[in-house]
Structure 1
Amino acid sequence: MTKSDTPKSAPTSANSTSANSTTDVPVAQPANGSAGALQMIGCSHHDASVEFREKVSVPADQIDAFLGAFRNRFPRGELVLLSTCNRVELYAASPDPSTLDRRAFADFVANQQRLNSDDVLHQMIHRSGPEAVEHLFTVAASLDSMVLGEAQILSQVKQAYQQANVFGSTGPLTHAVFQAANRAAKRVQQETTIHRRRVSVPSVAVGEVVPEVFDSLADKRVVLCGAGEMAGETLRYLKDAGARDICVLNRSRPRAIELADQFQCESDDWEQLNQRLVGADLLIGTTSAAEPIVSAATFAQIHPRRRGKVLLILDLAVPRDFDPGIDDYSGVYLYQIDDLEAACTRNRREREKEWPKAKKIIAEETERFFHDLNHRATGPVIRRLRNQALEIKDDELVRLNNKLREMGIEEAAIKEIDKSFDRVVNKLLHPPLASLRDDAAEGHSRGLLEALRHLFNLGDD
């Protein structure tokens, strides 16, 4: 890869397509099973201010107490709480949906967070049934994230589900839907390139530029200049890439120490920059300095002391931290912010091209989820009805066949009578079972499942 080919990143922005957008693939409704319909109440960076998100967010050390309060309020309910810096979403279900309607849900959140219930209703979006399920799948697949395709959200969804599992606030429906969400997210990862296109400057710099120069960072000396937000993000990618020898330098030494401690690396005085440059393999600039922190003249004095050692320089700063003239020296590879941002823009456009394909996967997985859910609800009833009909048929055939044999009727004729009984049973069962399957595809809206249970005395699941 040449410097002009290096991936680049433009400023990140919210997704251009809302998670509420409709798809062409129809989705079934949930069966009226023991868990009721899934509900979600929540807010995110798309629809709520930071101030409101801060009011409803639940710190990690208080999530168990929150789940416990929900269980006390709705003893048979299920709840998974997803609380991140960009979103707060509660996914719940109850065997009796009337006890956990939108108002009751909002009242619970308002009471826990000491907010006005009407404010919660106004500022937190409520979704139920297919809309709630499709939204969860969209979130898990990182199609609703501030940065489309960012990888962190799926692990956050998994952690939220796992914590609810450990606490004991999950149940049949939340188990099924969160496992299905993981499957949907994996499909998006495997069948699209959304997660393979880096769209931030640090991720492109470390993930795509560094491998073009170094096979590994494990044995490389890294000097990072600056201790702000860009430096922190860069450090995270460096650690993920296996960098072990990292030194943070900043004009404010306390800030350098704080950042270095956070990532378990070294820090040094700003005045040691030139000395650190002598042995560096990778030099990264993220400061806000008005002038280059390393001029061409300064580097001219340092270069001979490096004895031909390769130096990769990633200048992520605006204004630039390193004099462009440094790139003229042998063994030096300098990538500046414009190179990286151009690559990020290309990557983001490529991600956006994959959006329709990813949304189609989400729609397919939502349809699959409800198909499986409805099948689990109707399957036992269909089996019991068939078995009941077959038992009645078999009892009658035993009595009839005994009489027919006493009358000397040939076995071939008896077998034909048996087949006729089978056809009669199948024809009688076909209309109610076909209607039940159609009703399941429509979310059991006509109540045929319960009607069949009562009409034929089939009992409960």
Structure 2
Amino acid sequence: MTLQMIGCSYHDTEVEFRERVSFSADQIQKTLGDFRDRFPRSELVLLSTCNRVELYTSSSDNTELDHESVAQFIAEQHSLSPSEVIDQMIYLSGSDAVKHLFTVASSLDSMVLGESQILSQVKQAYEQACDLGSAGALTHSVFQAANRAAKRVQSETAIHRRRVSVPSVAIGEIVPEVFDSLKNKQVVICGAGEMGEETLRYLQQAGAKNICVINRSRQRADNLAQNFGIESDDWGNLHQRIVQSDLLIGTTSATEPILTQADFEPLHLQRKNRLMLILDLAVPRDFDASIGDLPSVYLYQIDDLQAACERNRRERQKEWPKALQIIEDETAKFIKDLNHRATGPIVRRLREQAQELKQDELQRLVSKLNSSNVDPAVAKEIEKSFDRLINKLLHPPLASLRDDAAEGHERGLLEAIRLLFKLGDD
């Protein structure tokens, strides 16, 4: 059995094509079922994200499931021509497919190097295949090994410890410099768009409990608040909320500052010099830069945070060779183990066949010896000689088979031994 991968990603295809071949959650369930019906002796794990669509397949009959047959299947699922699929989607097999999966799971192939979401997406794809019965022996092994490889990259390199998005740097690196914990802090976030939503995720991961989102459109604020289980408020209550808050975050798309120094000074007096951290993640900026000159106020703007992001991005790149070596090692280990497992049934059957032949001949010989009243100790010694003979005869082919397995069965000895000794199908 050989792992195959046919797919496309942001590396090699335009978003328009990825949209045409992508699979929604409902489509994945149907596709896995259709694949199982079409190729009953095959395995499939389907990974579909915004940046990639990849099908990992394997079959006990490689002639049934090849590049063209999988391309034909994808084409039928999306009403495309097979030539479009073959032209646009890359194809990998064997160790190349294994290495690719390990690289993807470890987020070394992601648009943002080291992002953490892809591993959970790979796990989800595998678990869905398991639930629907389209995973099998090889996909079980390779996806579990991919998870181990990704964990090694996470634990043995600093790639995942360097934050590279503005919200992650703001909450993960700036906030701890000012507050020991967000657990009992009042947080106000201005804006309910994508930046606000991403920032909310990091806030909750950091332990923030008392969060209020304010947006000019109250409905958008309410929707976001409901999704995250937090408070929302009218835009008109922003100043009142600022007086109560410890952490103020701006993520709006306003063309002018939503808070000037003149607006903030009376609020600052009401706060009675209580410490305040302001994170301005917006472009254009949400808060007048001069607010940061007031006592007990720490204001960080987008340029400060982007500089930290770029610094962390460079640090991640330094870890790339180390992470890549882990992938190489894990791929080689997996392929070696896989090849050795493939030899196991053949070795077992060969030894069983030799033992059966030995027992037949030994029984015939012992029957004759018993009629001549031969000492049982002599018969036992004869049996040992038979065993030594079998071991000596089998040692050269089995040693060659082990060496061939270590090299990926490139010389075809596994199949040759199967045919020469008539060992039947695996």
Q: Same fold (TM over 0.5)?
A: yes
Which of 188, 192, 200 is the matching residue for 1:223? 188
Q: How far off its partner does 1:404 sit?
A: 11
Alignment CA distance shift 1:403-1:112 (3 Å):
closer
Partner of 2:144: 179
TM-score when scaled to structure 1? 0.84
Report what 1:278 is aligned to. Answer: 243
**Counterpart residue number, 2:117:** 152
Stretch deviating more after TM superposition (423-432 or 284-293): 423-432
What is the match of residue 127 of structure 1? 92
The 1-side partners of 2:334 and 2:243 are apart by: 59
* Corresponding position of 2:259: 294
The farther-off stretch of 430-439 and 121-130 is 430-439
- 1:105-116 matches, within 5 Å, as 105-116=70-81
Instruction: State the distance in 1 between where 2:42 and 2:361 align.
Output: 46
For 1:76, give the aligned amino acid: R
Alpha-carbon distance, 1:206 to partner: 0.8
How large is the RMSD of aligned CA atoms in angstroms?
Answer: 2.8
Q: Is the 8 A contact 2:249 2:278 kept in 1?
A: yes
The residue that corresponds to 2:106 in the other structure is 141
Aligned partner letter, 2:215: N
Cα distance in 2 for residues equivalent to 1:335 and 1:325: 11
Alignment of 1:51-450 (within 5 A): 51-389=16-354, 424-450=389-415
The DSSP-based 3-state class of the residue aligned with 1:217 is: coil
Q: Deviations 1:85-137 (Å, cap 9, x if unpaired)?
A: 11111111111111111111111111111112211111111111111111111
Preserved CA contact (<8 Å) 2:340 2:406? no
Which residues of 2 match residues 10-89 of structure 1 at below 5 A? 36-89=1-54
Report SS of the residue matched to 1:98. coil
Q: Which amino acid in the other structure matches residue 66 of structure 2?
A: D
Matched to 1:83, the amino acid is S
In 2, the alpha carbon distance for the partners of 1:416 and 1:343 equals 78
**Aligned partners of 2:167 and 2:195 also within 8 Å:** yes
User: Offset at 1:212?
Assistant: 2.2
Q: Which has the higher contact order (CA 8 A, sep 6+)?
A: 1
State the one-letter code of the partner of 2:165: S
The one-letter code sitting in structure 2 at the alignment partner of 1:438 is: D
- The one-letter code of the counterpart of 1:69 is D
Q: Percent identity?
A: 69
Instruction: Give structure 1 stretches of 5+ with no counterpart.
Output: 1-35
Are the counterparts in 1 of residues 336 and 408 from structure 2 also a CA contact under 8 Å? no
**Alignment partner, residue 26 of structure 1:** none
Q: Please give the TM-score of this superposition, normalised by the length of structure 2.
A: 0.91
5+ residue gaps, structure 2: none
Bigger Cα displacement from structure 2, 348-357 vs 244-253: 244-253
Q: Deviations over 1:274-330 (max 9, x none)?
A: 111000111011123333222222221111211332211111122322222222333
- The DSSP-based 3-state class of the residue aligned with 1:443 is coil
Within 1, Cα distance between the matches of 2:161 and 2:416? 51
